[in-house]
Amino acid sequence: MGLLQFDTTEITGVASGTTSTVALAILALAFYLWTAKGSAMQHLPPAPKGYPFLGNLMDVVSAGGLLHLKMIAWAREHGEIIRVVLGPNTEYVINSDRACAAIFQKNAAISSERPAWLVGQKYITNYESMDLLDASNPRWKNRMNYAKKLVNSGSAPDSFMTRVLTSSDKSGASETEAAYVALKLIAAASDTSRVSTWVFLEQMMMNPRVQLHARKLIDDAVGDRLPVWEDIERIPYVRYLMKETWRMRPPVGNALAHRITADIAYEDYVIPAGSTVRPNIWAIGRDLKRHPDPDTFRPERWEGDKLSTQQSANLPDATQRDHFAFGVGRRFCPGVQVAERSFAVAIMRTLWAFDIGVRPGTQMPLNPDDYMEKELPGVPGSRLPLSLKVRSERKSLIEEAWKKELAEWQVYGNMDLDPLEEVLRAQ
């Protein structure tokens, strides 16, 4: 048995030394990872206080349709960029004009992609939607160029869809691509006009002084004829009304999310590659640095600003831009000119034709929270206590214009035209 016995003292010593070395290495690695994570966290934007594992998810869910109000509260507490933790996911919300310009314009090449919305991109739109496609996708680039050519062509066709179909052959766009471009331009403009008109009527009810002043300017400029888009050059106050409406109540409070493909540094912060970022349109329009009285509807704040929305968006200094209601960077809405023209005409013709008032029996002073639906700012309510009275000297002109429009609309089939006819019959 003596021949089989070994002296294990040296082996034990070696094993003990190896274990100690491994343990020290693990501790060193853990310390490095902890300090590295701490260093990286120091450069991330601040996050509102949340719950373990869930982060701010419960706050976002409970806010529901009033999320824009929660976001602006966080913006005023935490600053230009905030990190919103949604369980395993994180979004970075951009709350200032300067930060938006730095991230979405200066770094447009790496901040214009979309998150991987598989259901929306593939199964709902079959990779056809301009809103959901990545900006690096050739389809998106082709459609954006096609849309810009349609909008900027300067011609006056009988039908927008006729122009889409005839120009698609020349541009090489397929019928499907042309259809989605047309849908994007028409839907974006109509939705924006609907929401904006709601807000405009609401503000005219609440601000009769503004209404009377705007009407006098329109009457002096056009007299006894229907206003047209070209009249805006002689009535800059109409442009001020549009700017103030879109600043105060943008159609979209929190814009669609972008995905960045590389780290972006801003001030003392770093937003990591692959992150989801989105502009906080509502917060920018109510930034106290831009507008000390953000809750006051005051078109005069834009006096002297004759720039269109597109021209203002192109300004090199983002702090001089009027509003961000149509987005920022490469994702700027291609239908902005259509929306701007239709809204301007709606403002001028409504003020030219009607006295805008409050329905009898409505509690005063008027409080929008009493009748607005509890939804995002892009969803108008359905209970606006509005009273429209045709101006007596305009009634015959309105009826004549109405008959002409009615005859043209009959070409497209049965339309729901009862609301305006009801207003005219009631006068």
Residues 6+ apart with CB under 8 A from 89: 276
Name the E strands within 220-353. Answer: 258-259, 264-266, 269-271, 276-279
- Is the Cβ–Cβ distance between 107 and 259 less than 8 Å? no
Grouping H, G, I as helix, E, B as strand and the rest as coil, residue 47 is coil
Which residue ranges make up the annotated binding site for heme?
333
- Is the CB of residue 99 less than 8 Å from the CB of residue 266? yes
Amino acid residing at 367? N
Closest to 400 (Cα-Cα) out of 368, 353, 346, 359: 353
Quick one: which of 121, 83, 347 has its CA closest to 215? 347
Q: Determine the number of helices (DSSP H) and then strands (DSSP E) in the chain.
A: 16, 8
Q: What are 95's two structure tokens?
A: 């709350």
Question: Which residue numbers belong to the known binding site?
Answer: 333
DSSP 173-241: --HHHHHHHHHHHHHHHHHHHHHHHHHHHHHHHH-HHHHHHHHHHHHHHHTTS---GGGGGT-HHHHHH
How wide is the angle at C-alpha 338 spanned by C-alphas 335 and 344, nearest 5°? 135
User: Measured between alpha carbons, how far is 135 from 360 in angstroms, rounded to an integer?
Assistant: 51
Contact at 8 Å (CB) between 149 and 302? Answer: no
- Which residue's structure tokens are 């602006």? 72
Instruction: Tell me the three state secondary structure of residue 381.
Output: coil
User: Which run of H or E residues covers position 85?
Assistant: strand 81-86
β-strand pairing of 276-279 with 89-94: parallel
Residues 6+ apart with CB under 8 A from 254: 67, 68, 71, 93, 278, 279, 280, 281, 282, 376
How far apart CA 270 and CA 263 sit, in angstroms, is 7
DSSP-assigned letter for residue 410: G
